[in-house]
Amino acid sequence: MRIQRALISVSNKAGVVEFARGLAEMGVELVSTGGTAKALADAGLPVIPVEQVTGFPEMMEGRVKTLHPKVHGGILADRSKPEHMEQARAHDITPIDLVCVNLYPFAETVAKPGVTLQDAIENIDIGGPAMVRSAAKNHASVAVVVDPNDYEKVLAEMRASGGSVSEETRRQLAVKAFGHTAHYDAMIHAYLHSTYEPAEGSFPDHFTLANTRVQTLRYGENPHQRAAFYRDAGKQGPSIGTAVQRSGKELSFNNILDTNAALELVKEFEAPACAIIKHNNPCGCARAEDLVTAFQGALAGDPVSAFGGIVACNRVVDAAAAEAMTGDATFFEVIIAPGFTEDALPILTEKKRWGRDLRLLEVPGWDGTPGKCPEHPEYDLKKVAGGLLVQERDLRRLSPDDLTVVSQRAPTPEEIEQLLFAWSVVKHVKSNAIVLVRGNQVVGVGAGQMNRVGSVEIAVKQAGERARGAVMASDAFFPFPDGPEVALNAGVTAIIQPGGSKKDADTIAAVDAHGAAMVFTGVRHFRH
């Protein structure tokens, strides 16, 4: 199929002049609109304004310019059907063989601080998606190009074939085009659904996702699984999706999964904090007056498990922190932080065993303070066979005023502080989840066990003597007093848990018998 006429109308004008020049050099007639037509004309290219084709001027501030039979008839005419071509001739419709269109910058517009609804509405493209979909539908006869990265590929194929684009290439371009418009509509749907403030607890009838592939990964959780990483087009603020890799090897599927878990944990804290994640669970977490001390506390929580783990910090990593992290007995896959000082980078990237392998991720625009609950709830997604579970993210935080003292002894102010720290950590541990904390440092974790007392036993064993004087958090209620008994016998002095079990009275009695303190939250943090 030889390209004889092309319609070019783009918002992203990167490379479009060079693309159009290449088409013109092969004798392709250029039709264009508005700013694109001006850019091509300014570059000295012969261009036919779309109003010359349609016989109508652009009107209504550019809202109407390509919605016309002489445009869409030229794109949609099926060249294999004589009646289509006869109708085109009868109505003076010239076939359009190539459509080069990308859409108004909706995502960029709604990402701007203070954007108004009117600004967003004006950046909803109508004519562009219509032309893209028309061309993609008729890809048996028309090539559609929506991605500037494809310009050179199309030109090279045309030069090699005497001006033609192959059927296989047209198919690939059509698939990409429908993905482009689907992604665009999904962004608009998500924005308008959140902006018009649906009723509390309301979910859209159709759940759409707008994600862009960032990279194809070497493999998934296991080498026999293919995988890719996609970025949420609407996500703002600190996240693994907005992080920038500064150094190191390519991230793996498991790296990304664990780095996300580490970052979300340290986002809980105001003070300098560090978390070390292994297999999506924290094996260490601490907060302190400075990042070095926080890292040392996190590492001491479980130095054996920490080896080969993921480190997240809520402060810029300086040289002192970099020296501590790259000690002789340590090794980490990833360090993610708001940034790295210039004198820290050589320490992290040039040391033997570190520079080649260690991945450094920077979270731009983040000052290290806790992520605030969004104005409109974010969604947490869990894929199941044949469906998708959707829920609001678990962003609930507690203050001392949210706690109900149920024991005879009330916790001391210091215990309250440690209990809330433990509560922030236990939210990020796989259920059944138990966390022991002492001195702003996690000293024991029990994760993912089928019964809660088993998680307590694991956490207490890991803590050892450090359990004496520690506090304990449980992500859900204790069905029996056996779990608390294990902790109390090991020296735990205070417990935080949701409460709500039929056996709460028995658990409270056990706590009182040890002279310990216990508070209920009324909130649980299951994480499956």
pLDDT of 374 reads 45
> What tokens were used for 516?
């310990």
Taking CA 339 as the corner, what is the angle to CA 338 and CA 340, rounded to the nearest 5 degrees? 150
- Residue 482's alpha-carbon distances to 381, 451, 458, 491, 519, in angstroms, are 34, 11, 14, 15, 17
The full DSSP string for 193-223 is: HHHT-PPTT---SS----EEEEEEES-SSST
Q: What are the backbone dihedrals phi and psi of residue 164, each rounded to the nearest 5 degrees, phi first?
A: -105, 160
CATH 3.10.690.10 assigned to domain 401-520? The reply is no
User: Rounded to 10 degrees, what is the CA torsion of 211, 8, 159, 92?
Assistant: 130
- Residue 485's alpha-carbon distances to 328, 419, 489, in angstroms, are 39, 18, 6
How many residues in the chain?
528
Distance of alpha carbon 418 from alpha carbon 202, whole angstroms: 36
Q: What residues are annotated to the active site?
A: 137, 279
332-337 vs 309-313, strand pairing mode: parallel
Which residue's entry shows tokens 């059927």? 167
pLDDT of 390 reads 84
User: Minimal CA–CA distance to 218: which of 229, 208, 210?
Assistant: 229
Chain mean pLDDT for the chain: 90
Helix (H) or strand (E) holding 274: strand 273-278
**436 forms bridges with which residues in the sheet?**
444, 472
pLDDT of 203 reads 79
pLDDT of 201 reads 60
> What tokens were used for 265?
């944990």
- CATH fold, domain 244-392, is Cytidine Deaminase; domain 2 (3.40.140)
pLDDT of 50 reads 82
Is 401-520 the same fold as 244-392?
yes
CA 92 to chain CA centroid, Å, is 49
One-letter amino acid identity for 442? V
pLDDT of 198 reads 63
Cα Rg of the chain, angstroms: 30
pLDDT of 373 reads 40
Burial group, residue 208, by CB count within 10 angstroms (0-12, 13-18, 19+)? middle
Distance of alpha carbon 267 from alpha carbon 273, whole angstroms: 9
Residue ranges of the domains in the chain?
5-195, 244-392, 401-520
> Do residues 23 and 6 touch, judged by C-beta distance below 8 A?
yes
CATH of span 5-195: 3.40.50.1380
Residues 278-312 pLDDT 10s: 999 999 999 999 999 999 999 999 999 999 999 99
> Do residues 75 and 135 touch, judged by C-beta distance below 8 A?
yes
User: What are the residue ranges in the chain where pLDDT is below 50?
Assistant: 372-376
pLDDT of 357 reads 82
Distance of alpha carbon 233 from alpha carbon 221, whole angstroms: 24
Residues 124-148 pLDDT 10s: 888 888 889 999 999 999 999 999 9
Distance of alpha carbon 308 from alpha carbon 300, whole angstroms: 15
User: Rounded to 10 degrees, what is the CA torsion of 235, 254, 424, 431?
Assistant: 120
